[in-house]
Amino acid sequence: MRGFLTPEPDSPLRDGAFIKLLICRFAAATVNQIQSVVVGWQLYAMTHDPLTLGWVGLAQFLPMAALVLPAGDIADRVSRRLLVIGSCLLVALAGLLFLALTLSGTQSPVGFYGVLVLFGIARAFAGPSFSSLLPQIVGEERLPKAIALSSSVFQVAVIGGPALGGAVYLAGPAAAYGLCALLATIAAVAAARIHRPLPARADTRHHNAFERFTAGIVYIRTRPIILGAISLDLFAVLLGGATALLPVYAHEILHTGPAGLGALRSAVAIGAFLMGLYLGRASLNRHAGPIMFAAVAIFGLGTIVFGVSSSFVLSFAALAIMGAADMISVFVRSTLIQLATPDAMRGRVNAVNMLFIGASNELGEFESGTTAALVGTVPAVVLGGLGTLAVVGAWMWMFPALRRVDRLNDVGRQTPPAETSD
C-alpha cells in the first residue's frame, strides 16, 4: 500500500503548483455539490413545487451555455490563473448572497434564482480557464497523469460533497452557505498561490468577436480526432443516461430506501474514483483509441446490465463498472483534446468541450425520462445501452483516425497547428 501511495519521481503530485491547483479544484467542486443539495432542498421546502427544481437547473445552465464560448476566447487572451481566481471569488460572493437571502427570512425563490444566474456565470468562466491552465502548469509529458489525478479529486468531491451538504444543513441553510463561501475563498487563495511563470500564448492574429468566439468550433470541426472524441462522449452519454432514473429503480425495482438510493448514486463516482487513481499511477502507453472505444462499449454493456437487474448488489456493481469505464473515456478524451490543441486555442476548444458535456448531461436526463414515460423504465435503460453500443460501432467507422490513435503523446505531433497560432 505504501508503494502505491508514494508518488513516483515523475508524478505531478511532487509538484507544489499542481497540488495547489488540486486544492482549488477540490474546494470548488465541493461547493458545487453542497450547493446543489442545499439550494434544491431549501427552495422545494419553501414552495413545495417540483417545478422549482427545474428552474434551479435552468437558472444555472442558461448563463453557462450563453457565455462559455466568449469565456473560452477570454481564456486565450488573458491570464487563466486570474480567471480561475475571479471565478472562485464570484462563487464566494454567491455563497454570501445566499446567506444574506436566508438570514432575511424571504419566502420568495426569485432572489435565489438571481444568485444562481451569477453562479452559472462563474461556471462559464471557470471551466475553460481551469482546463487550459492545467497543461500550462504540469507540461505535456505529465499531463495524462495530472488529468487522471484531477478527475479523481473531482470524484471525491462528488462522493463526499452531497453528504457534507446534507450534514451541515442540519444546522440550517445559513451554515451551509457560509461553508460554501469559505471553501470558494480557499479555492481562490490556492489558485493565487500558484506563482510559477506560465508560458505566453502565441495567438496574435486579429479577428472580430464572432470569429474569435467560434474559432474553437471551427478548429474542432477540422480535426477528426478531437471531433470524434467529443461527439462520441456526447451521444454515448445522451443515450446512456440511466442515472437519471435511479430514484425509479430504487423505489420500484430494487425496493430500497433513501440510503440505498444514495449508495447507488455513489457507485458511479466510486468506480470512477478508483479508476482515476489507477490511471494516475499507471501509464496508458499504447492503443489509446481502441481503449477509448472499448471503455464506451463497456459503459453501454453496464447500462444494459443495470437496466435488467433486480438485484441491488448487481446493480451497484454495474454502476461502479460504468463509472470506471466512463473515467477511462474521460481520461483519453481529455488528454487527446489537450495534447492535440495548441496552447493558443485551448481556452476556446475546452469551452466547446464544456458546452458539449453540459448538453449531454442535461439532454441525457431529459431523453431518459421521456423514453421511460413512453416505453417504460427498464426498456428505456436497455434501449439506451444498446444505443450506446450502436454509437460506438458507428463512430469507429466514421472516425478511423481516432480508432487508430496509439500513443497519447504522439497526437500533438500528428495534428496540424491551429490556424490562429503563429
pLDDT at position 7 is: 62
DSSP 344-386: GGHHHHHHHHHHHHHHHHHHHHHHHHHHHHHH-HHHHHHHHHH
Rounded alpha-carbon distances, angstroms, from residue 230 to 202, 224, 322, 362, 375: 25, 10, 18, 16, 29
Helix and strand tally (H, E) in the chain? 17, 0
pLDDT tens for 72-115 read 989 888 889 999 999 999 999 999 999 999 999 888 889 999 99
pLDDT at position 393 is: 94
What's the distance, CA 296 to chain centroid?
Answer: 16
Q: Which three cell numbers stand for residue 318?
A: 454495474
What CATH number is given for 207-408 in this structure? 1.20.1250.20
Neighbour tally for 174: CB within 10 Å:
17
pLDDT tens for 217-237 read 888 888 888 889 888 877 777
pLDDT at position 417 is: 44
- Residue 177: pLDDT band with limits 50, 70, 90: very high
Q: How far apart are CA 312 and CA 280, in angstroms?
A: 30
Q: How far apart are CA 230 and CA 409, in angstroms?
A: 18
Residue 37 has pLDDT above 80, yes or no: no
143 and 338 Cβ atoms separated by less than 8 Å = yes
Residue 208 has pLDDT above 60, yes or no: yes
Amino acid found at 242: A
In sequence order, what are the residues at sequence separation of 6 or more whose Cβ sits closer than 8 angstroms to the Cβ of residue 382? Answer: 303, 304, 307, 308
Q: CATH 1.20.1250.20 spans which residues of the chain?
A: 10-193, 207-408
pLDDT tens for 297-317 read 999 999 999 999 989 999 999
- Residue 422: pLDDT band with limits 50, 70, 90: very low
pLDDT tens for 366-420 read 666 677 777 888 888 898 899 999 999 999 999 998 888 888 776 654 544 443 3
pLDDT at position 89 is: 97
Q: Which three cell numbers stand for residue 261?
A: 438510493
pLDDT at position 330 is: 86
Degrees, nearest 5: CA angle 279-282-287: 80
* Domain 10-193 architecture: Up-down Bundle (1.20)
336 and 288 Cβ atoms separated by less than 8 Å = yes
- pTM (predicted TM-score): 0.79
Of the ranges 130-134, 167-171, 220-224, 283-287, which one carries the lowest mean pLDDT score?
Answer: 283-287
pLDDT tens for 124-135 read 999 899 989 998
pLDDT at position 143 is: 87
